């Protein structure tokens, strides 16, 4: 009887050990797929204007080569290590300079400094085919590089590409959802004022432009549902090189103009000349006192989500507070 009990006892111990070993083996088998899943999550591909780029790990050192791209990164909570200087400002627009402390300035959007980019040792470079196609091969030799196709009015398309590039797609969707909700809320407040025909004019040194719908301000006005003067209600960029004979095409129920001043005073001089011209003063919109100068960076040049919110602030000011 004692011998049988010992046999039973040892048998139980052996079976218990086998179960433990089997459990360890199973845990190991289960752990391996999880490891593979983690490795997959740290490597992803992005389709863009120049092809497909593989990015390993969420980028920590991002270089951005467009102004609207800088705004996109800031809205996503990503401070770039380097960025091209703002079109105006020293070197950043007033509305972003408090967020750009410590960011290396990398030349202009049209001519970024490739050597300075390389010196930052980035793990991601974001650029634009329209601006930087000629240096794409140089850039991708430095770090994985993603290019948007173009720079026009539809900033949201580029924004989501950048969000994917920095592995923050969900955050990107949240940012756009917040913006779209604000647009819908503002539309409801504007009501019948959306029937007003909004005219957009820009002054530059040696050039006057009437802006159409495929522009930064044009896209925002269109999403809000504003009417546009007939000659401006077209899906292209702008009428450039406008002469004074075309001043009547600037008429509308309300007119916003902005001036791109490079520092020599030439654009401001041209602006004053046109605004004080008898043909301009004879416009119905001028007679009604509905001509307003707005910030060029906000309504046009910055081109990003932060500027879009500030433009909505202006719309509220001029349509709901005046």
- Establish whether domains 44-169 and 190-321 are of one fold: yes
pTM of the model: 0.84
Strand 145-148 with 198-204, pairing: unpaired
Strand 254-260 with 198-204, pairing: parallel
| Predicted pLDDT at 80 | 98
User: 12 is written with which tokens?
Assistant: 């139980």
| Predicted pLDDT at 22 | 44
Q: Which residues pair with 3 in a beta bridge?
A: none
| Predicted pLDDT at 280 | 98
HSE-CB at 314 with a 13 A cutoff on CA atoms is: 20
CA angle 113, 60, 116 (to 5 degrees): 15
Q: For residue 225, which of 257, 177, 187 has the smallest C-alpha distance?
A: 187
Tell which CATH classification among 3.40.50.1980, 3.40.50.720, 3.30.420.40, 3.40.50.150 matches the domain 190-321. Answer: 3.40.50.1980
The answer to whether 304 and 66 are in contact (CB under 8 A) is no
- Each domain of the chain, given as residue ranges in start order, spans 44-169, 190-321
Long-range contacts of 25-32, Cβ-Cβ distance < 8 Å, separation of 24 or more: none
Residue 239, helix vs strand vs coil: strand
Domain at 44-169: CATH code: 3.40.50.1980
Under DSSP, the state recorded for 276 is T
Taking residue 171's Cβ as centre, other Cβ atoms within 10 Å add up to: 15
| Predicted pLDDT at 28 | 38
Give CA–CA dist 279/118, Å, rounded.
53
Low pLDDT (below 70) residues in the chain:
1-41, 153, 322
The answer to whether 301 and 67 are in contact (CB under 8 A) is yes
Give CA–CA dist 215/111, Å, rounded.
22
Long-range contacts of 146-150, Cβ-Cβ distance < 8 Å, separation of 24 or more: 146/46, 146/48, 146/53, 147/48, 147/49, 147/50, 148/48, 148/49, 148/66, 148/69, 149/48, 149/49, 150/49
């Amino acid at each position: 009887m004692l011998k049988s009990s010992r046999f039973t006892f040892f048998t139980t111990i052996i079976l218990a050990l086998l179960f433990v070993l089997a459990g360890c083996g199973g845990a190991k088998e289960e752990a391996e797929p999880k490891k593979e899943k983690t490795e997959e999550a740290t490597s992803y591909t992005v389709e863009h204007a120049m092809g497909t780029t593989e990015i390993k790990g969420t980028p920590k050192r991002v270089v951005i080569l467009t102004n609207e791209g800088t705004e996109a990164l800031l809205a996503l909570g990503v401070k770039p290590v380097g960025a091209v200087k703002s079109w105006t400002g020293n070197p950043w627009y007033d509305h972003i300079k408090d967020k750009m402390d410590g960011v290396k300035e990398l030349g202009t959007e049209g001519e970024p400094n490739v050597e300075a980019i390389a010196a930052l040792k980035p793990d991601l470079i974001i650029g634009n085919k329209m601006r930087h196609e000629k240096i794409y091969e140089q850039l991708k030799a430095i770090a994985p590089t993603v290019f948007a196709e173009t720079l026009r009015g539809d900033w949201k398309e580029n924004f989501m590409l950048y969000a994917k590039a920095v592995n923050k797609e969900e955050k990107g969707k949240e940012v756009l959802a917040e913006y779209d909700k604000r647009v819908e809320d503002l539309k409801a407040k504007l009501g019948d004022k959306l029937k007003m025909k909004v005219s957009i004019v820009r002054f530059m040194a040696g050039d006057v432009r009437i802006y159409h719908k495929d522009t930064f301000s044009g896209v925002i006005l269109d999403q809000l549902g504003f009417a546009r003067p007939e000659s401006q209600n077209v899906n292209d960029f702008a009428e450039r090189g406008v002469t004074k004979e075309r001043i009547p095409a600037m008429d509308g129920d309300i007119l916003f103009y902005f001036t791109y001043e490079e520092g020599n005073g030439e654009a401001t001089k041209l602006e004053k000349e046109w605004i004080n011209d008898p043909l301009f003063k004879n416009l119905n919109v001028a007679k009604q006192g509905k001509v307003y100068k707005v910030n060029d960076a906000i309504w046009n040049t910055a081109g990003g989500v932060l500027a879009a919110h500030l433009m909505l602030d202006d719309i509220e000011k001029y349509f709901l507070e005046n």
